[in-house]
Amino acid sequence: MNENKGKNVRKILMIQIVLNLVLIGIVLGVFYLLARTRTYPDGELVFIMLFILIAMILSMSVSIYINHRIQVKLDEDRLSRSIIVARASRDMRTPMNTIINASDQDMVSRYNPQDMKNALDNVNSAGKYLMTLIEDLLALSKLKDRQLTLDEKPHTIMECVEESFHMVIPHFEKKSIHFNIEYKNVDVCRYVNVDSVRVQQVLVNLLNNACKYTPSEGHVDLVIEGLNQTDEYVDIQFTLSDDGIGMSQGALKNLLKIMPDDIATEKGMGMTIVNALVKAMNGKITCESQEDKGTTFVINFRWPYCYKDQVEKITTDYSILDGKHILLVENNAMSAEVAKQILESQGMSMDLAVNGKDGVEIFTHAMPHTYDAILMDIRMPLMDGIEATQIIRQSTHPESDIIPIIAMTADAFDEDRQRTRDAGMNAHITKPINPQELFTTLTNYLR
């Protein structure tokens, strides 16, 4: 990205140089033509030469100023991204430490069944927390580049809230903070059309801040209230209160103004992401705080209810998957083993291709009806998933244009999803794989 910006800077500077030369040429040309048509007194000649000199100086000054502003912007962008990476690295160390220690072979050998369960729970929580950090980094990058798009799908209000709570509960337990969730005047099981990932990012960041600035044995309360409901939408309000250290009025005044371009001068990424995401979802956020007494955030959204036909598409009945045969194209042995276990949990079987070229060979030489779907990684040696998909779609195999091909990749940006669609893939699932998302996607294409 910085390389592209550098190229853009060079293009702009070249344009400025060309414009300067053109301007100088025009002025000199006009002067030459005028000089041929009449004779100028010395005073007029000096004036004309002075005019040309001033024009050249102004033109060069504009170029220097533009060059300076672009360079300052690039320097700020590099500093901003360096700070983001440094903070993310620091934040990732705690969950990584949990995962590494919980899976240490010497410690595992001494676990009793309850210890093993606790260790697995800790690994699961730490893994989910790592995913929130990764999602934060992706969101921040998209927000800075003005590329964030919302992925609104049917979810229950409870799904959005409870998943956020499960991600942060270990941090609250570690500090013995009393955490309470309360629902008021809202049907938590009714489906709304919302980007649950972005909602969870907002809640997780605010909950993490509340935990960070609330002392041990303190209290944090989250109230979810339906303020106004119609047949079409619900006005939902989240109120998060803590009895932590609070903020000064000066800090409070600037807190809700922090946006992605300010990250290089601020203490944390949390509020940057919260403010930008709330704005992107057409929400409103306010905050009240007193030093040594605590802080209260209030967030308001208007969420449309899902229509009946939208909800009916949501299924947890995966019985149709039993007995299906999948071709998995994946070069990473660990990822392949995880995928195998997930597929087998629903009665599916699979064949493995270790790269795109291998996947093309296996599919194109298979008899019709051998495979029900293809799960395709993207970044692989010899042949990537994009090229493999294009070759499969163009092949003479009887099912080349109808077999579902689902991207299963760590590439998570919008442009990555567009690339897989353009290549001929039916869907795009990001790693780490969410089993329910995979089962739902397969069910939708194998009905």
The model's pLDDT over 338-371, given as tens digits with 9 standing for 90+, comes to 899 999 999 999 999 999 999 999 999 999 999 9
What string of DSSP letters covers 384-416? Answer: -HHHHHHHHHHS--TTTTTS-EEEEES--SHHH
pTM of full prediction above 0.75: no
Please give the pLDDT value at position 191.
87
Please give the pLDDT value at position 168.
84
Please give the pLDDT value at position 202.
92
Q: Six-digit token pair at 266?
A: 């601020």
Q: Is the pLDDT of residue 263 over 50?
A: no
Q: Is the pLDDT of residue 22 over 70?
A: no
List for the chain the helix, strand, coil content (%; round to 5).
Answer: 55, 15, 25
Q: How large is the average pLDDT for residues 241-258?
A: 82
Cα–Cα distance, 180 to 187 (Å, whole number): 18
- CA geometry: angle at 188 spanning 163 and 130, to 5°? 10
Please give the pLDDT value at position 267.
46
What band does 447 get if pLDDT is binned at 50, 70 and 90?
Answer: confident
Strand partners, 181: 222
The model's pLDDT over 49-97, given as tens digits with 9 standing for 90+, comes to 666 666 666 666 666 666 656 666 655 566 555 655 666 666 666 666 6
Three-class SS state of 226: strand
**Which string of b and e fits 250-263 if b means at least 16 CB within 10 Å?**
eebeebeebbbeeb
Q: How large is the average pLDDT for residues 186-206?
A: 88
Query: What is the pairing mode between strands 284-290 and 325-329?
Result: unpaired
The model's pLDDT over 119-134, given as tens digits with 9 standing for 90+, comes to 677 677 677 777 777 7
Contact 442, 321 (CB under 8 A): yes
Using CA atoms in the order 188, 190, 194, 195, what is the torsion angle rounded to 10 degrees?
60
- Contacts of residue 148, Cβ cutoff 8 Å, sequence gap at least 6: 139, 142, 276, 280
The model's pLDDT over 390-408, given as tens digits with 9 standing for 90+, comes to 999 999 999 999 999 999 9
φ/ψ (deg, to 5) at 373: -165, 160
